[in-house]
Chain A
Amino acid sequence: METIKISEVTKNFQEGEHVVHAVNGVDITIENGEFAALAGPSGSGKTTLLNLIGGLDRPTSGEISIDGTQLSKRKDNELTEIRLRKIGFVFQAYNLIPVLTAYENVQFVLQVQGVPEREHHDRIMPILEDLGIKGLENRFPTQLSGGQQQRVAVARAVVGNPTIVLADEPTANLDSETSKSLLDLMRRLNTEKGVTFLFSTHDPMVIERARRVIRLRDGKVQADERKN
């Protein structure tokens, strides 16, 4: 079943007198349950494409659909609602809310989704346990290591039961051991819970573990490799 369908998507930026084609006619389909990576060097358009899929930017042309919902025709508030219900984000710099504890950071999504308070604990704690950060729930981000913060970020991304988790360079700030551990956790969520992941990365470890690698160069798909 198609989770994301990207059809002929381009994204141009004006830089002075020049037009930069950050994404240039990309066609990709991501199926439900995939563990895929957008790989490529800096400037290849990975993050731009991820932002377009996440509804954070609008394409110059082309169409992106998530679960059959076309993003280009949606107003800002509708895109916000789609991000809230269908997409989980994991960022390179973790981007947790510094004044909230680990538990509250995860809970924030449920609160914004309007999930009744009485359900929060039962939904959050198993995820924290799965991600190996149970016992750290009352710590603030500054009291957590980078790897722990990124796990909280993953928990925040998956707690709302999104259609897909978009992870922008999730291991870029982590050492290799922590990266490996985090990737294992995300893979487990993928296989056991069926969460679909799409990474943007140039980390060989992520590329190695991804079940599908879409290589981008100069805003175009250079290769699309699936692993058995």
Chain B
Amino acid sequence: MIWFKLGWRNLWRNKRRTIIELVSIGGTVFLGAAWNNLALGSYDKMINDGVKMGSGHIGIYHRDYLELRKTDQVIETDELVSELERDPDVRGVYPRLLVPGLIRSSRDSRATLLMGIDFNREKGINPLLEDKRIVEGALPQKSNDRQALIGATLAHELELDVGKKFVIMSQGKDGEIVSSLLRVAGIVKSNIREIDSGAVLLDREKLGEVIGYEHSAHEIAILLQHHTKAKADLPEIKVMVSHFQNAKAYYWEEAMPALAASVNYDHAALEVTVFILYIMVGIGTINTLLMSVMERTREFGVIRAIGTSKTNIRKMVLSEAFVLACAGVVIGLTLSVLTGLYTSTHGIDFSSMFEEQGMGGTLVDPVIKSTWDIVGMLVLGAGMIFVSILASLYPVHHVMKIHPSEAMRIY
């Protein structure tokens, strides 16, 4: 205990230097923890939106679909969907047909992705169907209807308005070109370029009827009660799905590698930045401790003279680094908790810097709410203590070289 007491009191012999170092340590821990919590909050939102628009927490596909994406790689839905819906961990099941095709208006034609979805099933779940994104018109109301939503850019380019007719064309089950006349029910502006400039969303039954794949889907997105259960539930769902011909279940990271990669890349960049910050703080700590021990060369000489072992001298300097780091970490974590209380509920609005945009097939909301990564915060705190102790090794080495009789001649 004496070493911690000595360490703490020695720090305050030079208040300004210690305060600067505490600000440096505390500020870095605060930045690291707050930034990490904000980043994880934004990833949560991205993943949450991404899985709702895409594969779900777990996605079921034809076993070759993710690799080849052929129209004929469909899976039968009715029995599989019913069975999945009986699982208590499952919150919702969303079968979709995803077919490349052509859209033609009286003005022009464009390549398109025809997305056959169950509007009633997905409303309130799929972010693409949120009221704020339907900039004109409304969602198609009836099943197997000829009504469709089209992307805002596509509508603009084809000069399509709500109520206007257009034709979709694609390849049917038998290889022949099939087409159907549809009417614009609404225009969707998602801020995802692929959707806005190339998607037509229509009733899945209708699309299935047009291309000849009724009661089928290319993708069955499963949303679980809680995303943390996805990995644990995957094996059980895989077994269930294996009883259906050609069907295979994937974790969302496998089904949406672009989203997983963008999240992983962003987090890796964050980790590298925090690592660099920690190194810089470590260098600052070396400087602070070295200055501190060099100013006390005579004192260390006296302490050695009265019989303090090198082991105890080492403890003395290490304790100083430890209490300095602990105080800084407490300050940093306290600030990050206080900030987190606000940012986890109100978020930080970055809309002056960027608008909502698509990334990795999902949406990045400019209002970022933080999450609570308690383990991450503790790791950042412990990491800073470790860095500070590491930074104290050179000052310790310096003190170890002090010879008592020589040191006591220094005034």
Is B73 part of the binding interface, using a Cβ–Cβ cutoff of 8 Å?
no
Contact A77 B310, beta carbon cutoff 8 Å: yes
Contact status of A84 and B6, CB under 8 A, knowing A91-B302, A91-B408: no
**Interface stretch of the complex, out of A29-37, A108-116, A216-224:** A108-116
Contact A84 B10, beta carbon cutoff 8 Å: no
- Contact mask B282-309 → A, CB, 8 Å, 1/0? 0000000000000000110011111111
Contact A100 B307, beta carbon cutoff 8 Å: no
Partner among A84, A100, A107, A109 whose Cβ is within 8 Å of the Cβ of B9: A100
Size of the B side of the interface (Cβ < 8 Å), in residues, is: 23
Is A57 part of the binding interface, using a Cβ–Cβ cutoff of 8 Å?
yes
Contact B310 A87, beta carbon cutoff 8 Å: no
Partner among B2, B6, B298, B306 whose Cβ is within 8 Å of the Cβ of A89: B306
Contact B302 A99, beta carbon cutoff 8 Å: no
- Contact mask B378-411 → A, CB, 8 Å, 1/0? 0000000000000000000000000011001001
Contact B6 A99, beta carbon cutoff 8 Å: yes
Q: How far is the CB of B297 from chain A (nearest CB, A)?
A: 12
Contact B10 A87, beta carbon cutoff 8 Å: no
Is B16 part of the binding interface, using a Cβ–Cβ cutoff of 8 Å?
no
Residues of B within 8 A of A108 (CB): 2, 306
Residues of A within 8 A of B404 (CB): 56
Size of the A side of the interface (Cβ < 8 Å), in residues, is: 31
Q: How far is the CA of A107 from the CA of B158 in the complex (A)?
A: 89
Contact A54 B305, beta carbon cutoff 8 Å: yes
Q: How far is the CA of A77 from the CA of B312 in the complex (A)?
A: 11
Residues of A within 8 A of B405 (CB): 51, 56-57
Residues of B within 8 A of A113 (CB): 307
Q: How far is the CA of A83 from the CA of B310 in the complex (A)?
A: 13
Q: How far is the CA of A156 from the CA of B304 in the complex (A)?
A: 14
Query: Max chain A CB contacts within 10 Å: which of B13, B299, B305, B411?
Result: B305
Residues of A within 8 A of B304 (CB): 80
- CB-based nearest A residue for B9: A99
Residues of A within 8 A of B5 (CB): 104
- CB-based nearest A residue for B302: A95
Q: How far is the CA of A84 from the CA of B304 in the complex (A)?
A: 9
- Contact mask A71-82 → B, CB, 8 Å, 1/0? 000001100111
Is A172 part of the binding interface, using a Cβ–Cβ cutoff of 8 Å?
no
Contact B6 A56, beta carbon cutoff 8 Å: no
Q: How far is the CB of A81 from chain B (nearest CB, A)?
A: 7
Contact A56 B305, beta carbon cutoff 8 Å: yes
Residues of B within 8 A of A160 (CB): 307
Contact status of A97 and B303, CB under 8 A, knowing A56-B404, A108-B2, A111-B2: yes
In A99-135, which residues have CB < 8 Å from any B CB?
Answer: 99-100, 104, 107-109, 111-113
Contact B2 A156, beta carbon cutoff 8 Å: no
- CB-based nearest B residue for A140: B9
A interface, over-half SS? helix
- CB-based nearest A residue for B3: A111
Residues of A within 8 A of B312 (CB): 112
Contact status of A85 and B307, CB under 8 A, knowing A56-B405, A95-B408: yes
- CB-based nearest A residue for B308: A112
Contact B307 A81, beta carbon cutoff 8 Å: yes
Is A41 part of the binding interface, using a Cβ–Cβ cutoff of 8 Å?
no
Residues of B within 8 A of A56 (CB): 305, 404-405, 408
Residues of B within 8 A of A91 (CB): 302, 408
Partner among A87, A88, A100, A156 whose Cβ is within 8 Å of the Cβ of B6: A100
Query: Max chain B CB contacts within 10 Å: which of A87, A97, A113?
Result: A97
Q: How far is the CA of A109 from the CA of B302 in the complex (A)?
A: 12
Contact B305 A89, beta carbon cutoff 8 Å: yes
Q: How far is the CA of A99 from the CA of B12 in the complex (A)?
A: 9
- CB-based nearest A residue for B10: A99
Q: How far is the CA of A88 from the CA of B307 in the complex (A)?
A: 9
Contact status of A112 and B10, CB under 8 A, knowing A95-B302, A95-B408: no
Is A98 part of the binding interface, using a Cβ–Cβ cutoff of 8 Å?
yes
Query: Max chain B CB contacts within 10 Å: which of A54, A80, A87, A89?
Result: A80
Residues of B within 8 A of A98 (CB): 13, 299
Q: How far is the CB of B187 from chain A (nearest CB, A)?
A: 73
Residues of A within 8 A of B (CB): 51, 54, 56-57, 76-77, 80-85, 87-89, 91, 93, 95, 97-100, 104, 107-109, 111-113, 156, 160
Residues of B within 8 A of A (CB): 2, 5-6, 9-10, 12-13, 298-299, 302-310, 312, 404-405, 408, 411
Given contacts A81-B307, A91-B408, 13 further A-B contacts (CB under 8 A): A56-B405, A77-B310, A81-B309, A85-B307, A87-B307, A97-B302, A97-B303, A98-B13, A98-B299, A99-B13, A109-B306, A109-B307, A111-B2
**A/B interface sample: 6 pairs, CB < 8 A:** A84-B307, A84-B308, A99-B9, A99-B12, A100-B9, A112-B308
